[in-house]
């Protein structure tokens, strides 16, 4: 009888180890992932012209996650953006499910670069946020920061290919931008990009990312609302083994945001969305 009890005890211990072992290993791996994970959200805007810009006003869409814009802007407003000293005014305006950054360029001078196209005048803004949660690189339109509003979004062939192993999918869409006439006859290019990157380590180093970029070139006579073309690259890199969506409604805007309709005509905004 005693022998039978010993055999049962050994069997029970062995079964417990077989059951608890994988659970313990999984717990250790997830703990390592959480401690090593780093998520960076980078936004950059570049406005380029072939002549100095004078008294130009822009309304440009910002990236949103749900109805929440970039974390640094949420807390500190447009003043959290860093870059060139050519902006004489910056503030935020909302309209429906979008948040626009209003930029006023009083005068751009002595901020030049030389390219194969000749002399260019460049103004830049950017922000970098370190997040406390992972971003969804596979479906960023649903769970990450992308430019809004997004019209006529559809799948296209990717302009670059950074994966396998994770599927790399690209989408093209349009979004509105506003440029005031000002007092200069310059050709203007607006180039904005937001990129989210997750890095972690479990057994080996892993990372994934997405990129959302809008680009539009406008002639000297441009005045009013225009459609910029956007391309979203999703699913770049590795699959995140422990990704969990974050409740976007837990965060509410803290910085003051004006209503876009207060300064633009109703007809203009109806055409946009």
Is residue 113 scored above 70 in pLDDT? no
Q: What's the pLDDT score for residue 145?
A: 95
Categorize the per-residue pLDDT at 174 as very low, low, confident or very high, splitting at 50, 70 and 90. Answer: very high
Q: What's the pLDDT score for residue 203?
A: 76
Are residues 29 and 159 located together in one domain of the fold?
no
Are residues 61 and 124 located together in one domain of the fold?
yes
Tally the domains of the chain.
2
* Token pair recorded at residue 134: 């992972």
Are residues 53 and 98 located together in one domain of the fold?
yes
Are residues 3 and 68 located together in one domain of the fold?
no
Within the chain, residue ranges assigned H as helices are 2-36, 71-76, 140-143, 266-272
Mean pLDDT of the region 149-168: 75
Q: What's the pLDDT score for residue 17?
A: 44
Are residues 111 and 234 located together in one domain of the fold?
yes
Give the domain extent around 172: 39-272
Are residues 31 and 113 located together in one domain of the fold?
no
Q: What's the pLDDT score for residue 242?
A: 73
Is residue 234 scored above 80 in pLDDT? yes
Are residues 75 and 145 located together in one domain of the fold?
yes
Q: What's the pLDDT score for residue 264?
A: 46
How far is 197 from 71, CA to CA, in rounded Å?
15
Tens digit of pLDDT for each residue in 181-212?
777 788 999 999 999 999 988 777 889 999 99
Are residues 158 and 140 located together in one domain of the fold?
yes
Are residues 130 and 14 located together in one domain of the fold?
no
Nearest CA to 65 among 84, 39, 30, 88? 39
Are residues 216 and 239 located together in one domain of the fold?
yes
């Amino acid at each position: 009888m005693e022998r039978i009890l010993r055999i049962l005890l050994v069997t029970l211990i062995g079964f417990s180890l077989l059951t608890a072992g994988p659970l313990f290993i999984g717990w250790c791996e997830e703990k390592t992932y959480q401690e090593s994970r780093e998520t960076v959200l980078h936004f950059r805007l570049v406005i380029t012209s072939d002549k100095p810009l004078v008294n130009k006003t822009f309304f440009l869409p910002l990236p949103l996650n749900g109805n929440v814009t970039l974390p640094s802007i949420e807390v500190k407003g447009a003043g959290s953006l860093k870059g060139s000293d050519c902006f004489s005014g910056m503030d935020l305006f909302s309209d429906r499910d979008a948040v626009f950054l209003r930029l006023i360029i009083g005068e751009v001078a002595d901020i030049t670069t030389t390219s194969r196209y000749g002399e260019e005048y460049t103004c830049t803004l950017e922000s970098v946020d370190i997040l406390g949660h992972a971003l969804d690189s596979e479906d960023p339109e649903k769970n990450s920061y992308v430019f809004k509003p997004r019209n006529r979004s559809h799948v296209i062939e990717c302009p670059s290919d950074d994966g396998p192993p994770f599927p790399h999918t690209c989408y093209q869409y349009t979004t509105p931008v506003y440029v005031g006439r000002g007092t200069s006859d310059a050709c203007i290019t607006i180039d904005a990009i937001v990129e989210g990157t997750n890095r972690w380590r479990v057994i080996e180093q892993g990372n994934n990312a997405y990129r959302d970029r809008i680009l539009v070139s406008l002639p000297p006579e441009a005045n009013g609302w225009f459609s910029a073309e956007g391309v979203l690259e999703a699913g770049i890199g590795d699959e995140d083994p422990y990704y969990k969506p974050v409740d976007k409604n837990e965060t509410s805007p803290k910085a003051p945001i004006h209503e876009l309709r207060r300064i633009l005509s109703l007809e203009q905004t109806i055409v946009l969305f």
